Amino acid sequence: TKMRKDVRILLVGEPKVGKTSLIMSLVSEEFPDVVPYRAEEITIPADVTPERVPTHIVDYSVLQTVAYRNAACSGVPLILVGNKSDLVEHSSMETILPIMNQHTEIETCVECSAKNLKNISELFYYAQKAVLHPTGPLYCPEQKE
């Protein structure tokens, strides 16, 4: 039998980077002027996702983000997101590449803007793909018995 797991996408990051705005922009296809502190968890039905898998999107709070970061080894694929690309004139790839090289658990990186709706659906697609078709090591050596 073919197993079809649900995908869970968690948005983690420093305060005010735009986690909630990214989710609201994806859902409403427009930039919200005012956002709540946290978005409700949303579930995207399988038939409207590119990979046909039910996908849950969770807006992590700062506290959860700290806890996440402190976990010894998460074993989950990461997408490095540079939001607010509308505010910068040049690409931040120079900053991003050394981080990518240091952290092999980062599957890919994407520059986006919740405000301009740039790369928003792509970002969530990359996250979904990273779970379903990971390229990096998925296990943590420290967790082996």
Enumerate binding residues for ligand GTP (CB under 6 A). Answer: 15-21, 35, 37, 62, 83-84, 86-87, 113-115
Q: Which segment (11-19, 46-54, 95-103, 126-134) binds Mg ion by CB under 5 A?
A: 11-19
9 binds, among Mg ion, ligand GTP, none (CB under 5 to 8 A by kind): none
Task: Name beta bridge partners: 90.
Answer: none
Between 72 and 87, CB nearer to ligand GTP: 87
To ligand GTP, the closest distance from the beta carbon of 80 in angstroms equals: 15
83 binds, among ligand GTP, Mg ion, none (CB under 5 to 8 A by kind): ligand GTP
Which DSSP state fits 92? -
């649900």: which residue's tokens? 6
Between 42 and 46, CB nearer to ligand GTP: 42
Q: Apex CA 95: angle with CA 9 and CA 140, to 5°? A: 45
């120079």: which residue's tokens? 94
Q: In b/e form, how buried is each residue of 58-73, taking b as 16+ CB within 10 angstroms?
A: bbbeeeebeeeeeeee
**Single residue of 18, 20, 55, 111 touching Mg ion by CB under 5 A:** 20
3 within 8 A of 53, measured Cβ to Cβ:
no
To Mg ion, the closest distance from the beta carbon of 116 in angstroms equals: 19
